[in-house]
Amino acid sequence: MSLNLSNSYQALGEKFSQQTSPTPVAQPSLLLWNEPLAKVLTISLTKEIDAELIAQYFSGNQLIEGSKPIAQAYSGHQFAHFNPQLGDGRAHLLGDIADNQGKYWDIQLKGSGTSNFSRQGDGRCALGPALREYIMSEAMFALGVPTTRCLAVVTTGESVYRERPYDGAVVTRVAASHIRVGTFQYFAARGDTQSLKKLTNYAIKRHFPELTAKSSESDEDNKADNEISSQQVLKFFSAVLAKQIPLVFSWLRVGFIHGVLNTDNTTISGETIDYGPCAMMNAYHPETVFSSIDRNSRYAFGKQISIIQWNMTRLAETLLPLVDGDEDEAIEKIEPLLTQFHQDLQQGYLSMMARKIGIDEPAEGDGKLINDLITLMKDHKLDYTQTFVFLTASLTYSSTEQDNVSGIEVLIVEALKNWLPQWNNRIGSFKKAAHTVMMKSNPVVIPRNHHVEALLESCQETGELTALNKFLAVLRQPYTETPDTKNYQDAPVDGDKDYHTYCGT
């Protein structure tokens, strides 16, 4: 068995993190092991043969060879209020590992104990939130959404005390990196320009190596850590902006609501991170929010584009000293990138929604067609996913099938009776091509909140994984109708009107 980690982030130095080991747990036991992901990461361990060793490694009880665990430092705007000192309060970055394509990935434990950043927390994670992260991240990956993923869930044999005792767990997160907007804010808030340069250079090498010139001299590489040109910084910022566009449009395409889109939960790699209070939208409404802590609906479904822009503006502020010593000059240089970002988001939204109704290249008038549709969906409380599934399927209906719709389709047809002829006229004779586009844009199944909650409750009570694995098998084929798909397509009877999510992991 070969499993060895490197420590590129740890090498940045003590300003960036605290060296700290996971706190051992009483009785680690492997619950979930993501074998397909393990294979991508060239980890040859299997649940059938190596369950005990996996549990030891990914509970933090035994360190993987090469690992030098740390808790990362970062700041963050939390619901628009800046906290200069956050950091990993219950997570340990074990190191990074190369996949079968040579790309490096962070391996991080969550719920693995306290650090200097724990504040009043106990450093632990309950089983429910750990399972939620596993389910949701696997579903999002299959949906084509840029995301961190989960490699393992290990139960600890210990209780975690919240409003009542829960079984404890450690979840292993795999990410392109854990560099957040808040990581840059941490050093900017301290006026530490040298560390900002070092962080930016590291981020470029890790995520955007095409932006840096290669050097064969090791002393030149070390020297470059604290040197960076204004043009490199601007190109770096532009590259980070470009990563956010497919991220936020993927969320909107599938009806995902992050729930806690703070700057410390916004990665420069453009991956979804922190699934604590996330949820999926049922009936369409741009103000949909489920997070119990989002009392002012700051992170509602329809506000996620503007929040990403807000978060990127905060990142821009941290980079100003690296762009130009004169702040006004720096702003003048970086503002055009934010302006272009805004324009790209507006155009990108139109393109994304156009594909959901089968239009590969939107033309004049398509914006109104789309706006008319979502207005009708909101007014009639139509289910977001079911509506687009129906529209996709309707392109293949015979005239008899069109006249004999039933169930939820009747409600959709009635609500859209004046819109459907306009749409069919726009699609014209290109129904086959439109259907192909829509099949790729509109999942037939999503991780519905009520199904996720039911499975979390069942798994916590019984420890039985059969139903969970069946659910995951369906979620891993979200654009394909399987014999089991229909079991998870229903919207909740009450529309999730009393459903609330909580920060758990």
**pLDDT by residue (tens digit) across 458-500?**
999 998 999 999 999 999 999 999 999 999 999 998 878 789 9
Name beta bridge partners: 383. 283
Cβ contact 199:183 at 8 Å:
yes
Cα–Cα distance measured from residue 453 to residue 403, given in angstroms and rounded to the nearest whole number: 37
CA 229, distance to chain mean position in Å, is: 31
Q: Which parts are annotated binding residues for ATP? A: 87, 89-90, 110, 122-123, 173, 180, 274
Would you place residue 221 in the very low, low, confident or very high pLDDT band (cuts 50, 70, 90)?
A: very low
Number of other residues whose CB lies within 10 A of the CB of residue 384: 24
Ranking 28-32, 241-245, 396-400 by mean pLDDT, the lowest is 396-400
Catalytic residue among 264, 294, 383, 496: 264
Cα–Cα distance measured from residue 264 to residue 274, given in angstroms and rounded to the nearest whole number: 10
Mean pLDDT over 268-278 rounds to 97
Torsion of CA 266, 270, 276, 282, to 10 degrees: 120
User: Of 360, 386, 447, which is closest to residue 142 (Cα–Cα)?
Assistant: 447
Cα–Cα distance measured from residue 295 to residue 299, given in angstroms and rounded to the nearest whole number: 10
Cβ contact 243:270 at 8 Å:
yes
Cα–Cα distance measured from residue 232 to residue 423, given in angstroms and rounded to the nearest whole number: 46
Would you place residue 388 in the very low, low, confident or very high pLDDT band (cuts 50, 70, 90)?
A: very high
Cβ contact 196:168 at 8 Å:
no
pLDDT of res. 502:
84
Cα–Cα distance measured from residue 120 to residue 89, given in angstroms and rounded to the nearest whole number: 9
Q: Which parts are annotated binding residues? A: 87, 89-90, 110, 122-123, 173, 180, 265, 274
Determine whether 264 is an active site residue: yes
Mean pLDDT over 28-36 rounds to 98
Q: Is 30 helix (H, G, I), strand (E, B) or coil?
A: strand
Mean pLDDT over 252-276 rounds to 98
pLDDT of res. 410:
93
pLDDT exceeding 90 applies to what percent of the chain?
89
pLDDT in tens, 181-207: 999 999 999 999 999 999 999 999 999
Name beta bridge partners: 83. 76
Would you place residue 310 in the very low, low, confident or very high pLDDT band (cuts 50, 70, 90)?
A: very high
